[in-house]
Amino acid sequence: MKTLVCSIGITLVAVGLSALVSAQGPAADPKLEEVIAKLPTPGSGQVFVRTIPADVLRDYPGRCFSYNNYEFYNVNDTWNINGVCAMAECMALPINQDGQLGLFEQVFDCGPSVVKTVKECTYTREADLTKKFPDCCPTFTCTDGFDARDLLRPAVRSAGEGAAAAAAEQPADAPAQ
List, for residues 13-48, the tens digit of each pLDDT value: 333 333 333 444 455 788 888 988 888 888 888 899
Q: Which residues of 70-81 are buried (b: 16+ CB within 10 A; e: fewer)?
A: eebbebeeebbb
Whole-number Å distance between alpha carbons of 18 and 12: 10
Tens digit of each residue's pLDDT (9 = 90 or more) over 77-123: 999 999 999 999 999 999 999 989 999 999 999 988 777 778 888 88
Helix (H, G, I), strand (E, B) or coil at 49: strand
Q: Is the dihedral of CA 127, 120, 157, 40 positive or negative?
A: positive
Whole-number Å distance between alpha carbons of 56 and 71: 11
Whole-number Å distance between alpha carbons of 171 and 6: 11
Q: What's the mean per-residue pLDDT of the chain?
A: 77
Q: Which residues of 112-143 are buried (b: 16+ CB within 10 A; e: fewer)?
A: ebbeeebeebeeeeeeeeeeebbebbbebebe
pLDDT score recorded for residue 115: 72
**Cβ atoms within 10 Å, residue 102:** 13
Cα atoms found within 13 Å of the Cα of residue 115, Cβ hemisphere only: 4
Whole-number Å distance between alpha carbons of 134 and 149: 20
